[in-house]
């Protein structure tokens, strides 16, 4: 699959071109990256999103310089960096395990990079204070990392990587060790930190919610390949293929046959005979089989006597706090998920066992061509 490479005319902070990475012998080894191309812009909050083992860390380590490529090239602000060792790259990393130096105080940890860059003492002290203030840890400067909580250690790691003012900051699942509340708070903090500093962030996560809330653009990866690059909206509303539709958020995938192609809109025949208008993700040809993706919140339940696209029986009702999720069983046995806001639920409540009709909000069905 060819990946989009963003806008090639703008100055790319990091350009990854056709990078392939095989661990072990070239023919029999493990293929972690299978031809990845990316253009990450300056000042961008760019996220690599994908399931475990898809090659996110490997790509990050290649950019940091800890891993060599099997083939392909990597550019930093237009310069090829293949031959630069990690300590010569103006790139800093926030490691997943933080990797704070246990034998140094918080301040010494943050000062480490500045000392290696031979900044004068006064300057180092000033920048350490600034960096610690930025992450609100000024009063912990003299402590050892082991005397801090997980969230505080995470922020020290962030301050340590930010202090040398790198051009690009790499973050490998930095929030995964934190509890939910802290994680949500840190999302906001990270995003505003990125905006304040203007540093390009490359953020790795397998948590789609994290990716959707923080990123300017997201690259969805699977099995060493980039599946789609785009804004949160692009990826959520206009998934390019089945993997992206399924991985990002929740969706219903329906088997269909393409009936009729009319530019920008395709008529699709459902298994049980209904006809559905969908926007295709690529070139669709009449007569071919495919999948239509419809988000649960774009479906509406109506009483069975009203006109609807599909008919079914409510199987289960799951209360999710702000939302209600209905699992509706269709005639052919497949299940459809329908989400309604709990606040609007009262008047059109359907209980398990009720017969219902299902409507689709116009313009929200997407035909996945892959």
Partner 1 sequence: MSTGIRKPARKIDLRRYPGFVHLAVFCMIILYAPLLIVAVYSFNASTSITLWGGFSLQWYEEVFFGLESAKFKDAAWNSFTIAISAAVVSTCFATSAALGMLRAGEFRGRPVSFALINLPLMVPEIVTAVATLIFFNWINFERGIGTILVAHIVFCIPFAYLPIAARLEGISGIYEQAALDLYATRWEAFRLVLLPLMAPGVLSGFLLAFIISLDDFIITNFVKGAGVETLPTAIFGAVKQGIKPNIMAISTLLLVLSFIFVTLSWLIGRMGTDSGRAAD
Ligand X SMILES: Nc1ncnc2c1ncn2[C@@H]1O[C@H](COP(=O)(O)OP(=O)(O)OP(=O)(O)O)[C@@H](O)[C@H]1O
In the complex, minimum distance from the CB of residue 20 to ligand X, in angstroms, rounded to a whole number: 12
Tokens of 170: 């790499």
End-to-end CA distance of the chain: 10
* Dihedral pair phi/psi, residue 9, rounded to 5°: -80, -30
Tokens of 35: 């031809």
Binding mask 97-136 vs ligand X (x if CB under 6 A, - otherwise)?
----------------------------------------
In the complex, minimum distance from the CB of residue 169 to partner 1, in angstroms, rounded to a whole number: 11
Q: How many CA atoms lie within 13 A of 63 on its CB side?
A: 34
- Whole-number Å distance between alpha carbons of 370 and 367: 10
In the complex, minimum distance from the CB of residue 190 to partner 1, in angstroms, rounded to a whole number: 19
Q: Which listed option, partner 1, Mg ion, ligand X, none, makes contact with residue 23 (CB within 5 to 8 Å by class)?
A: ligand X
When asked if residue 205 is in the footprint of Mg ion (CB under 5 A), the reply is: no
Residue from 30, 116, 142, 349 in contact with partner 1 (CB under 8 A): 116
Binding mask 24-43 vs ligand X (x if CB under 6 A, - otherwise)?
------x-x-----------
- Whole-number Å distance between alpha carbons of 67 and 73: 13
Cβ atoms of 72 and 29 closer than 8 Å: no
When asked if residue 84 is in the footprint of partner 1 (CB under 8 A), the reply is: no
Residue from 57, 215, 293, 340 in contact with Mg ion (CB under 5 A): 57
Residue from 54, 100, 124, 171 in contact with ligand X (CB under 6 A): 54
| Parallel/antiparallel/unpaired status of strands 200-205 and 45-49 | parallel
- Whole-number Å distance between alpha carbons of 160 and 150: 15
- Burial degree of 49 (CB within 10 A; 0-12, 13-18, 19+): buried
Q: Which listed option, partner 1, Mg ion, ligand X, none, makes contact with residue 81 (CB within 5 to 8 Å by class)?
A: none
Q: Is 145 helix (H, G, I), strand (E, B) or coil?
A: helix
In the complex, minimum distance from the CB of residue 39 to partner 1, in angstroms, rounded to a whole number: 23
- In the sheet with 323-330, reading across from the earlier edge strand, the strands are 299-302, 355-360, 310-319, 323-330, 335-341
Q: Which listed option, ligand X, Mg ion, partner 1, none, makes contact with residue 282 (CB within 5 to 8 Å by class)?
A: none
When asked if residue 81 is in the footprint of ligand X (CB under 6 A), the reply is: no
Stretch that binds ligand X, among 54-62, 135-143, 179-187, 255-263 (CB under 6 A): 54-62
In the complex, minimum distance from the CB of residue 62 to partner 1, in angstroms, rounded to a whole number: 13
In the complex, minimum distance from the CB of residue 336 to ligand X, in angstroms, rounded to a whole number: 30
When asked if residue 85 is in the footprint of partner 1 (CB under 8 A), the reply is: yes
Tokens of 135: 């992450």
Q: Is 347 helix (H, G, I), strand (E, B) or coil?
A: helix
Taking the least distance from each CB to partner 1, the nearer of 94 and 278 is: 94
Binding mask 203-242 vs ligand X (x if CB under 6 A, - otherwise)?
---x------------------------------------
- Whole-number Å distance between alpha carbons of 225 and 208: 17
Residue from 47, 58, 251, 340 in contact with ligand X (CB under 6 A): 58
- In the sheet with 45-49, reading across from the earlier edge strand, the strands are 91-94, 168-172, 200-205, 45-49, 217-222, 225-230
Cβ atoms of 269 and 260 closer than 8 Å: no
- Whole-number Å distance between alpha carbons of 219 and 228: 6
Binding mask 117-156 vs partner 1 (x if CB under 8 A, - otherwise)?
x---------------------------xx---x--x---
Which positions touch Mg ion (CB under 5 A)? 57
Report the interface residues with partner 1, using CB under 8 A: 64-66, 85-88, 91-93, 95, 97-103, 112-113, 116-117, 145-146, 150, 153, 160-161, 164
């Amino acid at each position: 699959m060819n990946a989009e490479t963003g806008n090639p005319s703008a100055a790319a902070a990091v350009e990854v071109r056709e990078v392939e990475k095989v661990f072990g012998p070239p023919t029999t080894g493990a293929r972690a990256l299978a031809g990845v191309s990316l253009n990450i812009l300056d000042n961008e909050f760019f996220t690599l999103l994908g399931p475990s083992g898809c090659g996110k860390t490997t790509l990050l380590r290649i950019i940091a310089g800890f891993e060599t490529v099997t083939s392909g090239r990597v550019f930093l602000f237009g310069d090829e960096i293949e031959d630069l060792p990690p300590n010569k790259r103006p790139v800093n990393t926030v490691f997943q395990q933080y990797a704070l130096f246990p034998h140094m105080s918080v301040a010494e940890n943050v000062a480490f990079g500045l000392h290696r860059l031979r900044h004068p003492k006064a300057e180092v002290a000033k920048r350490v204070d600034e960096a610690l203030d930025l992450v609100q840890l000024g009063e912990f400067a003299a402590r050892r990392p082991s005397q801090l909580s997980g969230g505080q250690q995470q922020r020290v790691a962030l301050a340590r990587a930010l202090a040398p003012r790198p051009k690009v900051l790499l973050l490998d699942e930095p929030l995964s060790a934190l509890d939910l509340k802290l994680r949500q708070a840190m999302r906001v903090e990270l995003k505003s930190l990125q905006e304040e500093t203007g540093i390009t962030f490359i953020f790795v996560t397998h948590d789609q919610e994290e990716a959707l809330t923080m990123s300017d653009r997201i690259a969805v990866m699977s099995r060493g390949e980039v599946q789609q690059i785009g804004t949160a909206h692009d990826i959520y509303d206009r998934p390019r293929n089945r993997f992206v539709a399924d991985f990002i958020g929740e969706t219903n995938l329906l088997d269909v046959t393409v009936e009729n192609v009319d530019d920008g809109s395709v008529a699709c025949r459902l298994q049980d005979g209904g006809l559905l208008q969908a926007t295709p993700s690529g070139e669709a040809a009449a007569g071919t089989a495919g999948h239509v993706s419809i988000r649960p919140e774009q479906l509406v339940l109506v009483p069975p006597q009203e006109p609807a696209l599909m008919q079914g029986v409510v199987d289960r009702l799951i209360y999710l706090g702000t939302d209600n999720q209905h699992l509706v069983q269709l005639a052919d046995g497949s299940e459809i998920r329908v989400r309604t806001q709990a606040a609007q639920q009262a008047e059109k409540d359907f209980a398990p066992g009720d017969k219902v009709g299902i409507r689709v909000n116009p313009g929200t069905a997407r035909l996945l061509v892959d």
